[in-house]
Amino acid sequence: MHESRPAGPPAAAPAQPSPPGPASPTAGPPLPRSVRIGYGLGSLATGTFGTVPGLILLYYLTDVLAVPAALAGAAVFLPKAWDVLINPLVGAAADRSRLQGGSRRPFLLAGALTLPPLFALLFAAPPLRGIGAAGYVAVLFLLAATAYAVFQVPYVTLPAEMTEDPAERGRVLAWRVGFLGVAILLSGALAPAIAHADGDTPGSYRTMGVVVAILLAAGMLGAWRAVRRAPTVARSEAEPSLRAQLAVARDNPVFTALAGMWTVQALAVGVMLAGVQYFATYVVGSPEAVTPLFACMIGPLVLMMPLWNRLARARGTVFAQWCASLLFTGAAALVFLTRYTSPVVGYVAVALVGVAYAGLQLLPLTMLADTLAADTARTGRRRAATFTGLWTAAETLALALGSGVFAAVLALTGFRSSEASEEVAQPAAALTGINAGMSLLPALLSLAGCALLAVYASRSAAASAPAPGAPPSTPSDPSAPPAPTPNATARKGTRRVR
């Protein structure tokens, strides 16, 4: 539903041209290429921080700092649960901000100056073990999550404010997704390789923390510098409270279904990320196997995204999302056979997961952009920051919960924590739990995401369908556009013939 506008020239002035369609006022000059590329650099940070803690933080606690599995899961999950509160509040604060340099850039800079050192301290491996180590990691992770929210929420909002041209916004998002794939692949392969270089010693984790902190700083500061040249063509409207923001989400059933699907999907990915290091160590039989496994999972990301995009254009985004979701479900279930067959099966299955993951990263963002545009057309209000704040909060909470869920599997199956210098034999139940937690559990979660995708598809179709029996316009409806004049009808008919 677009804003009310005449369908043709008014009857009183037939010679006047008809007002432009919805795309005309939104189309503007293209953004500078440096802005598009520079904005994409920010995904080096969002992809890295979204990947590395989920990939190795739980393992760092249980197998380096000797933290019991249940306590380690709480230390990873609770600080990220804070994002549910802080992300929407950051979005509202950025909406209301009138700081020099634009409402978003000061927040980008604040996050860029605080997250990298906090990340390095997170993996500083102090001389603490057990409960003390869990407390140290939880506090640093809470501070890092807060710094990340200060950067991420305004960052995600920027495309909707830099341009109102959907095609130009798509080009901006293409750079963002491309850099996201590079960041996930680079950080996901580099961080474990550095951490395992000296046999999982605290010193190797310190080095890894510093290297990843430099990568975070490069991406965040690059984005902050680049968007100084970006125009602000629209501004979001802040909701006064978190309760009001949740009410806005409830008012948009299409968004709630889409966000629910995204959350469950992120939870499935979070469980797999948390489990891949344990899977490499205890199922494949080598801690170093995490690097090729992760490369198999993330390697297809950049290569397959154009193909998923092409499928979405040819058959529709929802159809492409169905394909990606079902492929992820089947491939994740296939991983379970690794323990009973050969590591080759695991590598192939994880590579198929990576093909699906490329679509699962790209397609929901496309559907989100469509949903936000439809909300603006329906309500006349720009609430992108509110929705994206809730969206990113749901994603980060789900990824953190993935670590917590996998930690619960470890605890329930009797996993034995240890220091880096110890070798502990795990019970058979723990090995089965690791294998199933890496495969069957994500597959079941993906099926739940498919159910929510069906809800989204039906609600989206219902929202875009015209009211049954309602004419295009009626004289008694003052909000409807006036009926087209015969001249306008003739012109439309001529266009159809051609």
For residue range 89-121, list pLDDT tens digits in order.
776 676 666 654 456 778 888 888 999 999 999
Burial class (CB in 10 A: 0-12, 13-18, 19+), 245: buried
**Per-residue pLDDT reduced to its tens digit, 299-324:** 787 788 889 989 998 999 999 999 99
Q: pLDDT digits over 223-281, tens only? A: 888 777 666 655 555 565 667 777 878 888 999 999 999 999 999 998 998 888 899 88
Range among 243-252, 283-292, 489-498 rated most confident: 283-292
Q: What are phi and psi of 65, to 5 degrees?
A: -105, 5
Give the DSSP letter string of 32-71. Answer: PHHHHHHHHHHHHHHHHHHHHIIIIIHHHHHHTB---HHH
Distance between CA atoms of residues 18 and 6, nearest Å: 7
pLDDT per residue over 345-365, tens digit each?
999 999 999 999 889 988 898
Predicted local confidence at residue 240, as pLDDT: 56
Amino acid 113: pLDDT: 94
